Structure 1
Amino acid sequence: MKDKKNGPSFPWHLAIAGVLSLVVLLGFYWVGANKFSTEEWNEFGDFIAGAAGVIITTFTFLALLYTIHIQSTELALSRNELSLTRDELALNRGEIAKSGKALRDQVETIKVQNFERTLFESLNFLSKLSEQFEWRSPVEDAPRTGVSAFFAMYHQIGHPSVALGALGVEDGDQIGNHAPLGEALDRLRTQLAPYYRTLYNIYRYLDESEFADEVYYNRIIRAQIPDHALAILFYNSLTPRGLRFQKYIEKYAILDNLPPELLFNPHHRAVLDNLPTPNATEAIGEA
């Protein structure tokens, strides 16, 4: 038992055993000194010594066995504690693994949320750009605005003076180098350039975000592009200024929803089906 104030208590049982041993020894000495002669006392001493040796040897052996028993018990306890420690460590590793997975999932969720927020803010900006479109026709009193302006600008590109309808070729680079087409797009550049640059950067952002579900987000983006804007995008991508956009047009099938009747010549369908053109391939490789 331990004394709470003074630490371990005094081993009284050992002190008592020592006192009793001393009393017995003195008793033997007194008896021998008073009852026996010197010769008997020597014989008695030899007897006591021999008996004591046997007793001491016996107690030593018993003490050794008791020591082995204590050590075996302590070893078993140590093994049990070690087993419990291993189990606890295994549980801790499991909890750490779960926490690590939960943290990775949380980080992934935050990445997706940040990606979606940026994407939808960009699409909202793209929509506002188209809402600001305004096209005044020389034969109409009211200007065309918003999506309706795409319709008017599309017909400007298809004007007889541009002669795209008469350009019945299947060479996209030849169409893109057609000077009247470049001039028509230059006249529309003030309004169209910000729109298509924003659309290009949206697809670039999608392409560089490898964790994103590209198919799902691509459908969302494509749904925001009016049909006449798709037609203008096709012809603009054939010109030197728009060649790099063909990379995303081909990869994300942006023009799959382009109605065939919006092509100014049926032969241009072959160009659409074989993007990117040689000039675009070269421009993409140099980027």
Structure 2
Amino acid sequence: MKCQKKILLISSVLITLIGLFIFIWFCVRGFFYEQFIIPTGIISLEKSSQFGDFIGGCCGALFALVGVLLLFETLRLQRTEISESRYVFKLQQFDNMFFNLLTLYNSIISSMQGKSFFTQKQQSIYQNFNQDGGRKIAKNAYLSFYAENEPNIAQYFRVLYQIFSLISHSKLNEEDKVRYAKIARAQLSKDEIFFLYYNANTIYGNKFRRYINEFNITKHLSILDKLEFKKYCVSLTNIENHLLHVAFFEIRKGIKECIKQNKEWYKTFLQGAIAIKCNKIDSFNIKFIVIRTLKEIPDDVQQGLGFNEFTPEQLSSLFYDFLVDVFLYSNFFLLNDKNTIITSRMTREATKITITYEVKNAKTNIRIV
């Protein structure tokens, strides 16, 4: 649209200049050469009429064309202004509904004794969860929580669902949709996102899954905060747990970058003691490599701190569970279905251990939100 406007304005200026040039050129010829423009003498009506006919037919047509072009631009600007006015009105209507739902959301939170309700419940579930339990046991732990708190929690999730459904189905542009989604997502605490994730893994939240993927609502949920990853956290300090969360968040972004931009992603942690590499083989095949060297780690290193607490076998299992979560469970099988297969193999050398993972799907493209 901006390019068309620029071309239209440049064309109008050029045509106007051409018309002025023709007019001036004939005036100069009439005064100096043809001599039908004589300010102090008798004017030749015949030559003057011919001159006027030419100027009117040629320059007049050019100036009329400029008028048509500028009229077209004026009408286009009017249409744009009308369209923008309608959009502003539509945005105001949406704004009222959106913030009314946020007010309702906050009133429900208040009736549940605030966000501390979720913090206390999350800590209780996490502490009582068997560290050897898998996803099925984690799901059952959430279902027990839901059964005990259904009156409040069911209404809470319904309102959250309506907020993101309203954004998704609105006629706003993508930029405004993302802006409102970020406002809504900013209302959620880490513990709320924890329960939202597990709710979406049950029949109670299956309709919510598409909005979680669309707006990446659970992007800031640490993978180590999930119940099924508790077995990896028991030997970690709080700072190690946090630094591993940062590392996995960066690795996830790297995988997404590798898939979208079709280029290799490479990152090292613990000053090269841990190296991560991701390659997109084709649309259906991703290769993910973890290299653990025997390099001594300095005491002042922080980035990736915590990886050094795992044996090679634990590290292999941790990254396998991480990839399964990233490509399958975090997307609720909506992006990469159950046909996606993740395999791993470990090779040992004198100075390093290499763990290679392959993510394959013969039916759909490998994707990640």
Give TM class, smaller chain: 0.5 to 0.7
Identity of aligned residues (%): 18
- 1:228 match: 191
- 2:335 paired with 1:277: no
Aligned AA (2:209): Q
- 2:189 paired with 1:189: no
- 1:113 match: 92
CA distance in structure 2 between the aligned counterparts of 1:181 and 1:280, rounded to whole angstroms: 24
Contact 1:153 1:188 in 2 (8 A): no
Aligned AA (2:133): G
Contact 1:244 1:280 in 2 (8 A): no
Q: Deviations over 1:154-176 (max 9, x none)?
A: 3454474xxx434532x5xx357
Aligned AA (1:242): G
- 1:62 match: none
CA distance in structure 1 between the aligned counterparts of 2:115 and 2:159, rounded to whole angstroms: 16
- 2:105 is aligned, of 117, 126, 133, to 126
- 2:207 is aligned, of 213, 228, 244, to 244
- Classify the secondary structure of the residue corresponding to 2:104: helix
Q: Deviations over 1:206-238 (max 9, x none)?
A: 223351424433322221011211111122211
Unaligned runs of 5+ in 1: 1-66, 134-144, 283-287
CA distance in structure 1 between the aligned counterparts of 2:78 and 2:102, rounded to whole angstroms: 36
Aligned AA (2:169): E
- 2:130 match: 165
- 2:168 paired with 1:207: yes
Contact 1:218 1:252 in 2 (8 A): yes
- Classify the secondary structure of the residue corresponding to 2:70: helix
- Classify the secondary structure of the residue corresponding to 1:242: helix
- TM-score, length-scaled by structure 1: 0.55
Contact 1:175 1:238 in 2 (8 A): no
- 2:217 paired with 1:254: yes
Q: Deviations over 1:91-125 (max 9, x none)?
A: 33232222222222222333333333332222222
Matches within 5 A, 1:52-91: 75=53, 79=57, 85-91=64-70
- Give the deviation of 1:78 after TM superposition: 6.2
Unaligned runs of 5+ in 2: 1-44, 232-320, 338-369
- Classify the secondary structure of the residue corresponding to 1:127: helix
- 1:219 is aligned, of 164, 167, 182, to 182
Choose between structure 1 and 2 for higher RCO, CA contacts under 8 A separated by at least 6 residues: 1
Q: Which has the higher strand share?
A: 2
Change (3 A) 1:73 1:263: closer
CA distance in structure 1 between the aligned counterparts of 2:218 and 2:167, rounded to whole angstroms: 17
CA RMSD of aligned residues (A): 3.6
CA distance in structure 2 between the aligned counterparts of 1:185 and 1:103, rounded to whole angstroms: 49
Aligned AA (1:97): R
Change (3 A) 1:251 1:167: farther
CA distance in structure 2 between the aligned counterparts of 1:105 and 1:157, rounded to whole angstroms: 50
CA distance in structure 1 between the aligned counterparts of 2:188 and 2:105, rounded to whole angstroms: 9
- 1:97 match: 76
CA distance in structure 2 between the aligned counterparts of 1:250 and 1:279, rounded to whole angstroms: 8
CA distance in structure 2 between the aligned counterparts of 1:211 and 1:150, rounded to whole angstroms: 33
Change (3 A) 1:176 1:158: closer
- Classify the secondary structure of the residue corresponding to 2:228: coil
- Give the deviation of 1:188 after TM superposition: 1.0
